[in-house]
Amino acid sequence: MDYMEYFGKLSLKVEPLIDDTTLRDGVQMPGLAVSPEDAAEIACLLDEIGVERIELHHFHDADKKAARLIHDLGLNARIAGWCRALREDIDDAIDCGFEEVGISHPVSHIHFRAKWPDKSEDELLRRVIDAVEYAAKDHGLRVFVHGEDSTRANWEFERRFINAVAEAGAECYRICDTVGIGLSDPAAPLPNGIPAKIKAIKAETKIESIEIHAHDDFGNAVENTMAAIRAASGLWDKVYASTTFLGIGERAGNAETEKVIMNLYLHYGVKKYEGKTGLLKKLADLIGHATGYVIPPNKAIVGDYAFAHESGIHTHGVLKDPLTYEPYPPELVGNKRRLTIGKHSGKAIIRFKIKSLTGMEPSDEQVAAVVSRVKAIYSGGRKASLREEEFKKILNEVGIEI
C-alpha cells in the first residue's frame, strides 16, 4: 500500500511562499549564536529545500559578514534585511547589499503606550511612512512591513496603517502574532482571528500581498500559519509564511519551516517541494550543530526519534508493515528508522535485532534468554535504551556469536 493514498486530498488556490527567518528571529533565541560561515551554509540548504525568501540580521560585524557571504552565493532565494522604521537601519541594509527589506513596527496600543507614550497615532504613522518611502521610493528597495503585535491591534488603526504603507510603496504586510494568541478558528473575530484578519486585509486595504508570522506561545504557530494559508486560498495570489527551522526563536519560538513544508507538500499537494524534502534532516542537524541548539529527540520530522520504535506493539507492527506506525517513509525527510531495545521491547524486536546483527535466525530459546536478560536490566531502574555494544554483550553472554 502506498502511503500517498492518505495524502494530497486537498488543494490550494494560492501560492504559498516560505519566508524563512531562522537567521534573524531564530538566532535571537537565548543562548544561540551562528558564525558567518555556518550562516552561509544554512542559507545554501534553505535555498535547496525550496525556501523563496531568507531574512537576515545585518547590524553586527558578524551579521554583515554573513550577509556578504550569502549574497555572494547567488542563491535562487531572495535575501532580505530586517529593519526598524529608521532611515539609518535602511542605510545599513543598503550598505550590506540588500535589495529587499522588512520594516518592523508595532501596530498595537499596548506597544504604543509602552514605547512611545508621548506620541500620537498620526505621529507614529508618519514615522513608518517616512521609512517605507525612503526605502521603496527613494532607493528602489522591495519593502515588506511587519505589523508587530497585529493580533492585539485595533483594526481601525491597523487598516489605516496598512493602507498608508501600501501607498508609501510597501508590497507586502506581515501579520505578526507576536505573543502567539492568534486563533485559527474561522469564527474567531478580529483582532486575533487569523482567517478573519486575512480576509479583512484583502477586503479593506490596498496591500498587494500578505504574510503570517506566528509565535508558538500557545503551541499553535504551525496551525495558525496553515490557517492563514487556507484563508488566503481563493482570495490572494500568494501568501508568505514566515517560519524558522526547528521553530527556534524568541520565547517559545515560531512555526517550524519543516512542518509547514511537509503539511503543504503532503496534505495540500504543493509539488514544488518534491525531491527536496530529503534534505530536511540534514539541515536540522546542521542548524543544531552550528547554533548549539539541542534538537529534542522526539522532534517531529527531523528528531532522531521521530521514527524510533521500542514498545512491543509498535515494533511488531513496523516490522510487519512500516505504515502501521509511520505516516511516510523516514527517507522522505532524510531521517531513518530506529528500532531500539528497552524496557518495553518484546520478542519480535529482539529476534529482529539478533538476526540483523548475526545474519542468522535465532531459536526461540535464544530469544527467550535475551529477553530475560533485558528485563533484568530494566527491573533495576534503568530508563535509557540499550546501546548497540550493550546489546552485543548480552548476546555474547547467552552464547550467540556475532
Question: Rounded to an integer, what distance in angstroms lies between the CA atom of residue 242 and that of residue 221?
Answer: 10
Question: Rounded to an integer, what distance in angstroms lies between the CA atom of residue 358 and that of residue 341?
Answer: 16
Q: Is the dihedral of CA 289, 292, 293, 297 positive or negative?
A: positive
Question: Rounded to an integer, what distance in angstroms lies between the CA atom of residue 154 and that of residue 104?
Answer: 17
CATH hierarchy code of domain 3-291: 3.20.20.70
CB 32 within 8 A of CB 254: no
Q: Could you tell me the three cell numbers for 89?
A: 537601519
Beta bridge partners of 239: 16, 210
Domain extents for the chain?
3-291, 308-397
Q: CB within 8 A of 54, min separation 6: which ones?
A: 19, 20, 21, 23, 43, 46, 47, 70, 75, 77, 78, 79, 80
- Give residue 249's pLDDT: 98
- Give residue 100's pLDDT: 98
Q: What is the pLDDT of residues 299-331, one digit of tens each?
A: 999 999 999 998 878 888 998 999 999 999 999
CB 281 within 8 A of CB 302: yes
Best CA proximity match to 211, nearest among 153, 155, 162: 162
Q: What angle do CA 39, 40, 44 make, to 5 degrees?
A: 115
Look-up: residue for cell 542537524?
Answer: 285
Q: What angle do CA 72, 74, 78 make, to 5 degrees?
A: 110
DSSP states of 357-394: HHSSPPPHHHHHHHHHHHHHHHHTT--SPPPHHHHHHH
Q: Among 3.20.20.105, 4.10.430.20, 2.60.40.10, 3.90.1150.10, what is the CATH number of 308-397?
A: 4.10.430.20
- Give residue 5's pLDDT: 94
Q: Is 287 helix (H, G, I), strand (E, B) or coil?
A: helix
CB 183 within 8 A of CB 193: yes
Q: CB within 8 A of 44, min separation 6: which ones?
A: 73, 75
339-to-32, 112, 265, 360, 372 alpha-carbon distances in Å: 32, 54, 27, 18, 19
Along the chain (402 residues), what's the average pLDDT of each consecutive run of 10 residues?
90 98 97 97 98 97 98 98 98 98 98 97 98 98 98 98 98 98 98 98 98 98 98 98 98 98 98 97 98 97 95 87 96 96 89 91 93 91 90 91 82
CA atoms within 13 A on the CB side of 298: 1
Question: Rounded to an integer, what distance in angstroms lies between the CA atom of residue 57 and that of residue 252?
Answer: 20
Max Cα–Cα distance, the chain, nearest Å: 83
Q: Could you tell me the three cell numbers for 352?
A: 529482529
- Give residue 402's pLDDT: 81
Instruction: Write the single-letter amino acid at 269.
Output: G
Question: Rounded to an integer, what distance in angstroms lies between the CA atom of residue 249 and that of residue 360?
Answer: 49
CB 334 within 8 A of CB 48: no
